Amino acid sequence: MVGYRHQISNQGGNIMGIGKFKMDTSKELQGVLSNINQLSSLRYTSSGYDASDILIDYLRAYEKAGLTEKQEKIINLVYKREYTQKEAAEILGCSQQAVQQHIKASFKKIVEAYKGDLPGEQGK
């Protein structure tokens, strides 16, 4: 895990700058995931190192989180492919509420995996 943290400043759907940030809460993780495609694009700009670090931190936590197959599909549909929760529910044949519950459970797992991977946080 990268030893420092970043923050994404998002105004009007555009990333205004990257500073220090953390993914210690679902709200903070929401900020990262809502900008995941922009972060991927930023890897090739002058802010690329920061964007790459954010992506690496997220991907490590995502891999360690142990999401179910359905949770992975929902995160991919809603955040990577930018479908609405309602559209994702239609694609998967479930309710929007079920999609929302899977996102909440996924965020909890990812945040816990992220926190557990921070220096000095193991075993807490």
On whether residue 62 sits in a domain, the answer given is yes
Average pLDDT of the segment spanning 72-97: 97
Q: Is residue 123 part of a domain?
A: no
Share the mean pLDDT of the chain: 79
Per the structure, the count of domains in the chain is 1
In a domain? residue 77? yes
Quick one: pLDDT at residue 50? 74
Torsion over CA: 10, 27, 4, 64 (sign): negative
Q: Is residue 42 part of a domain?
A: yes
pLDDT band at 124 (very low <50, low <70, confident <90, very high): very low
Residue 90 maps to a domain: yes
At residue 49, the pLDDT reads 58
Provide the whole-model pTM.
Answer: 0.71
In a domain, 49, yes or no: yes
The whole domain housing 51 covers: 6-116
* Residue 30 falls inside a structural domain: yes
Q: Which two tokens stand for residue 62?
A: 């995502």
Helix (H) or strand (E) holding 6: strand 6-11
- Given a cut of 90, whether residue 82 has pLDDT beyond it is yes
pLDDT at 116: 85
On the question of pLDDT at 31 being above 90, the answer is: no
| Within-domain flag for 121 | no
In tens, the pLDDT along 37-78 reads: 877 777 676 555 577 788 888 889 999 999 999 999 999 999
- Core vs surface per residue 91-107: b (16+ CB within 10 A) or e: eeeeeeebbeebbebbb
